[in-house]
Amino acid sequence: MTQTTLRDAYQGRRVLFIGGTGFLGSVTLSLLLQNLPALDRVYLLLRRTPGSTAERRFYERIFPGVAFEPLRERFGGELDGLLEEKLRVLEGDLSHPMLGLNDAALEELEGSLHVILNCSGLVDFHAPLEQAYRVNVQGTRHLLEVAERTGAALVHTSTSFVAGSRCGRIPETVEPGDFPRRDESPFLRFDALREIEDIHTELEVLKTQAKTQQAHARFTEQAIARHLKVNGSYPSESQLANAVRRAERDHLRAEQVEAG
Protein backbone atom coordinates (compact mmCIF):
# COMPACT_ATOMS: atom_id res chain seq x y z
CA MET A 1 0.00 0.00 0.00
CA THR A 2 1.38 3.41 -0.98
CA GLN A 3 1.52 5.89 1.87
CA THR A 4 0.31 9.41 1.17
CA THR A 5 2.40 12.15 2.74
CA LEU A 6 0.87 15.27 4.21
CA ARG A 7 2.39 17.31 1.39
CA ASP A 8 0.81 15.06 -1.22
CA ALA A 9 -2.56 15.12 0.54
CA TYR A 10 -2.67 18.92 0.55
CA GLN A 11 -1.23 19.50 -2.92
CA GLY A 12 -3.43 21.97 -4.80
CA ARG A 13 -5.92 22.06 -1.93
CA ARG A 14 -7.82 24.99 -0.49
CA VAL A 15 -8.25 25.19 3.27
CA LEU A 16 -10.59 27.30 5.39
CA PHE A 17 -8.78 27.89 8.69
CA ILE A 18 -10.56 28.96 11.88
CA GLY A 19 -8.88 29.86 15.16
CA GLY A 20 -5.77 31.65 13.94
CA THR A 21 -5.65 34.10 16.85
CA GLY A 22 -5.23 31.34 19.44
CA PHE A 23 -1.93 29.82 20.55
CA LEU A 24 -2.45 26.46 18.84
CA GLY A 25 -4.11 28.05 15.82
CA SER A 26 -1.37 30.59 15.12
CA VAL A 27 1.30 27.87 15.27
CA THR A 28 -0.71 25.54 13.03
CA LEU A 29 -1.32 28.31 10.50
CA SER A 30 2.39 29.12 10.43
CA LEU A 31 3.28 25.45 9.92
CA LEU A 32 0.81 25.14 7.04
CA LEU A 33 2.41 28.06 5.23
CA GLN A 34 5.96 26.85 5.99
CA ASN A 35 5.70 23.16 5.21
CA LEU A 36 3.02 22.79 2.53
CA PRO A 37 4.28 24.87 -0.40
CA ALA A 38 1.98 23.08 -2.84
CA LEU A 39 -1.09 24.17 -0.88
CA ASP A 40 -3.17 26.31 -3.22
CA ARG A 41 -4.71 28.70 -0.70
CA VAL A 42 -5.56 29.20 2.95
CA TYR A 43 -8.70 31.15 3.76
CA LEU A 44 -8.37 32.55 7.28
CA LEU A 45 -11.61 33.36 9.08
CA LEU A 46 -11.34 36.30 11.48
CA ARG A 47 -13.88 38.47 13.25
CA ARG A 48 -14.16 42.17 12.67
CA THR A 49 -13.85 44.16 15.89
CA PRO A 50 -14.87 47.76 16.62
CA GLY A 51 -12.37 49.92 14.78
CA SER A 52 -10.54 47.05 13.08
CA THR A 53 -11.20 44.96 9.97
CA ALA A 54 -10.51 41.24 9.84
CA GLU A 55 -7.44 41.74 7.64
CA ARG A 56 -6.08 44.44 9.89
CA ARG A 57 -6.46 42.11 12.89
CA PHE A 58 -4.30 39.54 11.08
CA TYR A 59 -1.47 42.01 10.53
CA GLU A 60 -1.73 43.45 14.03
CA ARG A 61 -2.31 40.30 16.08
CA ILE A 62 -1.11 37.20 14.21
CA PHE A 63 1.56 38.33 11.76
CA PRO A 64 3.90 39.95 14.35
CA GLY A 65 3.60 37.00 16.75
CA VAL A 66 6.24 34.47 17.76
CA ALA A 67 4.49 31.74 15.76
CA PHE A 68 5.31 33.57 12.51
CA GLU A 69 8.97 34.12 13.41
CA PRO A 70 10.13 31.00 11.47
CA LEU A 71 8.28 32.30 8.41
CA ARG A 72 9.96 35.69 8.68
CA GLU A 73 13.38 34.05 9.08
CA ARG A 74 12.86 31.66 6.18
CA PHE A 75 11.29 33.96 3.59
CA GLY A 76 12.52 37.39 4.68
CA GLY A 77 11.39 40.04 2.21
CA GLU A 78 9.55 37.43 0.15
CA LEU A 79 7.05 36.74 2.93
CA ASP A 80 4.65 39.47 1.82
CA GLY A 81 4.49 37.90 -1.63
CA LEU A 82 3.90 34.45 -0.15
CA LEU A 83 1.03 35.71 1.98
CA GLU A 84 -0.49 37.57 -0.96
CA GLU A 85 -0.37 34.38 -3.03
CA LYS A 86 -1.34 31.79 -0.40
CA LEU A 87 -3.43 33.55 2.26
CA ARG A 88 -6.74 35.33 2.08
CA VAL A 89 -8.45 36.75 5.17
CA LEU A 90 -12.22 36.36 5.27
CA GLU A 91 -14.42 38.32 7.62
CA GLY A 92 -16.74 36.09 9.62
CA ASP A 93 -17.76 34.84 13.03
CA LEU A 94 -17.91 31.28 14.33
CA SER A 95 -20.99 32.07 16.42
CA HIS A 96 -23.06 33.16 13.39
CA PRO A 97 -24.91 30.90 10.92
CA MET A 98 -22.71 29.97 7.96
CA LEU A 99 -19.82 31.43 9.99
CA GLY A 100 -21.07 34.92 9.18
CA LEU A 101 -19.61 34.68 5.66
CA ASN A 102 -21.17 36.94 3.05
CA ASP A 103 -22.74 35.57 -0.13
CA ALA A 104 -19.70 36.36 -2.29
CA ALA A 105 -17.36 34.45 0.02
CA LEU A 106 -19.69 31.46 0.21
CA GLU A 107 -20.01 31.35 -3.57
CA GLU A 108 -16.21 31.41 -3.92
CA LEU A 109 -15.81 28.56 -1.42
CA GLU A 110 -18.63 26.44 -2.79
CA GLY A 111 -17.23 23.64 -4.91
CA SER A 112 -13.60 24.81 -4.56
CA LEU A 113 -12.95 24.30 -0.84
CA HIS A 114 -11.40 20.99 0.19
CA VAL A 115 -10.79 21.16 3.95
CA ILE A 116 -12.15 23.14 6.90
CA LEU A 117 -9.53 23.11 9.65
CA ASN A 118 -10.93 24.27 12.98
CA CYS A 119 -8.57 25.23 15.81
CA SER A 120 -11.03 27.55 17.54
CA GLY A 121 -12.99 27.12 20.73
CA LEU A 122 -13.57 28.61 24.13
CA VAL A 123 -11.36 26.95 26.74
CA ASP A 124 -12.09 29.31 29.64
CA PHE A 125 -13.21 27.16 32.58
CA HIS A 126 -15.02 30.16 34.04
CA ALA A 127 -16.92 31.26 30.95
CA PRO A 128 -20.67 31.91 31.29
CA LEU A 129 -22.72 28.97 30.07
CA GLU A 130 -24.37 30.96 27.27
CA GLN A 131 -21.02 32.14 25.90
CA ALA A 132 -19.50 28.64 26.01
CA TYR A 133 -22.59 27.20 24.32
CA ARG A 134 -22.59 29.85 21.60
CA VAL A 135 -18.95 29.23 20.67
CA ASN A 136 -18.39 25.52 21.34
CA VAL A 137 -21.79 24.08 20.43
CA GLN A 138 -23.44 26.48 18.01
CA GLY A 139 -20.06 27.28 16.47
CA THR A 140 -19.50 23.62 15.65
CA ARG A 141 -22.94 23.43 14.06
CA HIS A 142 -22.10 26.44 11.90
CA LEU A 143 -18.88 24.75 10.78
CA LEU A 144 -20.94 21.74 9.72
CA GLU A 145 -23.31 24.01 7.77
CA VAL A 146 -20.42 25.39 5.72
CA ALA A 147 -18.90 21.93 5.28
CA GLU A 148 -22.21 20.62 3.95
CA ARG A 149 -22.69 23.54 1.57
CA THR A 150 -19.13 23.52 0.19
CA GLY A 151 -18.54 19.78 0.24
CA ALA A 152 -15.34 20.24 2.25
CA ALA A 153 -14.02 17.79 4.82
CA LEU A 154 -14.07 19.03 8.41
CA VAL A 155 -11.03 18.56 10.66
CA HIS A 156 -12.03 19.57 14.19
CA THR A 157 -9.32 20.13 16.79
CA SER A 158 -10.57 19.53 20.29
CA THR A 159 -8.92 19.77 23.70
CA SER A 160 -7.54 17.00 25.87
CA PHE A 161 -10.43 17.55 28.26
CA VAL A 162 -12.85 15.63 26.04
CA ALA A 163 -11.12 12.51 27.35
CA GLY A 164 -12.17 13.32 30.91
CA SER A 165 -9.87 11.87 33.57
CA ARG A 166 -8.92 8.80 31.53
CA CYS A 167 -5.19 8.07 31.24
CA GLY A 168 -3.01 6.79 28.43
CA ARG A 169 -3.85 6.80 24.74
CA ILE A 170 -7.50 7.54 24.04
CA PRO A 171 -8.51 6.35 20.54
CA GLU A 172 -10.64 8.73 18.48
CA THR A 173 -13.43 6.27 17.88
CA VAL A 174 -16.95 7.41 17.11
CA GLU A 175 -19.30 5.69 19.51
CA PRO A 176 -22.89 6.91 19.92
CA GLY A 177 -23.51 7.90 23.50
CA ASP A 178 -19.83 8.26 24.40
CA PHE A 179 -18.92 10.94 26.94
CA PRO A 180 -15.84 11.70 29.08
CA ARG A 181 -17.08 10.00 32.29
CA ARG A 182 -18.32 6.87 30.59
CA ASP A 183 -15.65 4.64 32.15
CA GLU A 184 -16.41 6.01 35.61
CA SER A 185 -20.17 5.63 35.21
CA PRO A 186 -20.83 2.76 32.78
CA PHE A 187 -24.55 2.68 33.58
CA LEU A 188 -25.17 6.31 32.70
CA ARG A 189 -26.53 7.18 29.27
CA PHE A 190 -25.71 10.38 27.44
CA ASP A 191 -27.76 12.04 24.69
CA ALA A 192 -26.07 15.05 23.07
CA LEU A 193 -29.33 16.50 21.72
CA ARG A 194 -30.95 16.16 25.13
CA GLU A 195 -27.95 17.91 26.66
CA ILE A 196 -28.44 20.84 24.28
CA GLU A 197 -32.14 21.03 25.17
CA ASP A 198 -31.23 21.00 28.86
CA ILE A 199 -28.78 23.88 28.34
CA HIS A 200 -31.51 25.93 26.64
CA THR A 201 -33.87 25.21 29.52
CA GLU A 202 -31.30 26.11 32.17
CA LEU A 203 -30.42 29.38 30.44
CA GLU A 204 -34.08 30.39 30.25
CA VAL A 205 -34.59 29.54 33.93
CA LEU A 206 -31.57 31.63 34.96
CA LYS A 207 -32.72 34.60 32.87
CA THR A 208 -36.26 34.38 34.24
CA GLN A 209 -35.04 34.18 37.83
CA ALA A 210 -32.88 37.29 37.33
CA LYS A 211 -35.98 39.19 36.14
CA THR A 212 -38.32 38.31 39.03
CA GLN A 213 -39.73 40.98 41.33
CA GLN A 214 -37.86 39.46 44.25
CA ALA A 215 -34.55 39.64 42.39
CA HIS A 216 -35.26 43.23 41.30
CA ALA A 217 -35.93 44.23 44.91
CA ARG A 218 -32.67 42.61 46.03
CA PHE A 219 -30.66 44.34 43.30
CA THR A 220 -32.29 47.67 44.20
CA GLU A 221 -31.43 47.33 47.88
CA GLN A 222 -27.85 46.41 47.03
CA ALA A 223 -27.51 49.36 44.64
CA ILE A 224 -28.85 51.85 47.19
CA ALA A 225 -26.61 50.50 49.96
CA ARG A 226 -23.54 50.64 47.70
CA HIS A 227 -24.29 54.21 46.60
CA LEU A 228 -24.83 55.35 50.19
CA LYS A 229 -21.54 53.78 51.25
CA VAL A 230 -19.53 55.33 48.42
CA ASN A 231 -21.24 58.71 48.05
CA GLY A 232 -23.01 59.28 51.35
CA SER A 233 -26.30 60.02 49.59
CA TYR A 234 -29.17 58.26 47.83
CA PRO A 235 -28.80 57.69 44.08
CA SER A 236 -30.87 59.58 41.56
CA GLU A 237 -33.53 57.73 39.60
CA SER A 238 -31.27 57.27 36.57
CA GLN A 239 -28.29 56.26 38.72
CA LEU A 240 -30.41 53.67 40.50
CA ALA A 241 -31.78 52.26 37.23
CA ASN A 242 -28.27 51.90 35.80
CA ALA A 243 -26.97 50.29 38.99
CA VAL A 244 -29.84 47.79 39.06
CA ARG A 245 -29.18 46.82 35.43
CA ARG A 246 -25.49 46.26 36.22
CA ALA A 247 -26.37 44.20 39.28
CA GLU A 248 -28.75 42.05 37.23
CA ARG A 249 -26.14 41.54 34.51
CA ASP A 250 -23.40 40.66 37.02
CA HIS A 251 -25.71 38.28 38.88
CA LEU A 252 -26.73 36.51 35.67
CA ARG A 253 -23.11 36.17 34.57
CA ALA A 254 -22.11 34.68 37.94
CA GLU A 255 -24.99 32.21 37.81
CA GLN A 256 -24.07 31.18 34.25
CA VAL A 257 -20.41 30.70 35.23
CA GLU A 258 -21.53 28.43 38.06
CA ALA A 259 -23.87 26.53 35.73
CA GLY A 260 -21.13 26.12 33.12
pLDDT on residue 189: 76
Mean pLDDT on 186-211 = 88
pLDDT for 190 beyond 60: yes
Q: Which of residues 34 and 186 earns the better pLDDT score?
A: 34
pLDDT at 177 > cutoff 70: no
Would you say residue 117 has pLDDT above 70?
Answer: yes
| pLDDT of 221 | 94
Q: Is the pTM of this model over 0.85?
A: no
Asked if 18 and 138 sit in the same domain, the reply is yes
What total number of domains does the chain contain? 2
Q: Which of 162, 184, 203 is the C-terminal boundary of a domain?
A: 162
- pLDDT for residue 20 is more than 90: yes
pLDDT of amino acid 71: 93
Q: Is residue 175 part of a domain?
A: no
- Is 183 a residue whose pLDDT tops 70? no
Residue 178's pLDDT is 67
- Same-domain pairing of 250 and 157: no
Q: Three-state SS string across the chain, please?
A: CCCCCHHHHCCCCEEEEECCCCHHHHHHHHHHHHHCCCCCEEEEEECCECCECHHHHHHHHHCCCHHHHHHHHHHHHHHHHHHHHHEEEEECCCCCHHHHCCHHHHHHHCCCCCEEEECCCCCCCCCCHHHHHHHHHHHHHHHHHHHHHHCCEEEECCCHHHHCCCCCCCCCCCCCCCCCCCCCCCCCCCCHHHHHHHHHHHHHHHHHHHCCHHHHHHHHHHHHHHHHHHHCCCCCHHHHHHHHHHHHHHHHHHHHHHHC
Q: What are phi and psi of 156, to 5 degrees?
A: -105, 120
Judgement on whether residues 61 and 155 belong to the same structural domain of the protein: yes
- Domain assignment present for residue 224? The answer is yes
Looking at the structure, tell me whether residues 236 and 108 fall in a common domain.
no
Domain that holds residue 130: 11-162
Q: Write out pLDDT tens, residues 63-113.
A: 999 999 999 999 998 999 999 999 999 999 999 999 999 999 999 999 899
Q: Report whether pLDDT(168) > 60.
A: yes
The more confidently predicted of residues 25 and 165 is: 25
Give mean pLDDT, residues 183-211: 86
So what's the pLDDT on residue 242?
Answer: 94
On whether residue 182 sits in a domain, the answer given is no
* Average pLDDT over all residues of the chain: 89
Q: How many CB atoms lie within 10 A of CB 119?
A: 21
Q: Are residues 232 and 107 both part of a single domain?
A: no
- pLDDT tens-digit map of 226-243: 999 999 999 999 999 999
pLDDT at 55 over 90: yes
pLDDT at residue number 170: 77
* Residues 136 and 224 placed together within one structural domain of the fold: no
**Do 222 and 111 share a domain, yes or no?**
no
Residue 245 has pLDDT above 90, yes or no: yes
Q: Say yes or no: 70 and 132 in one domain.
A: yes
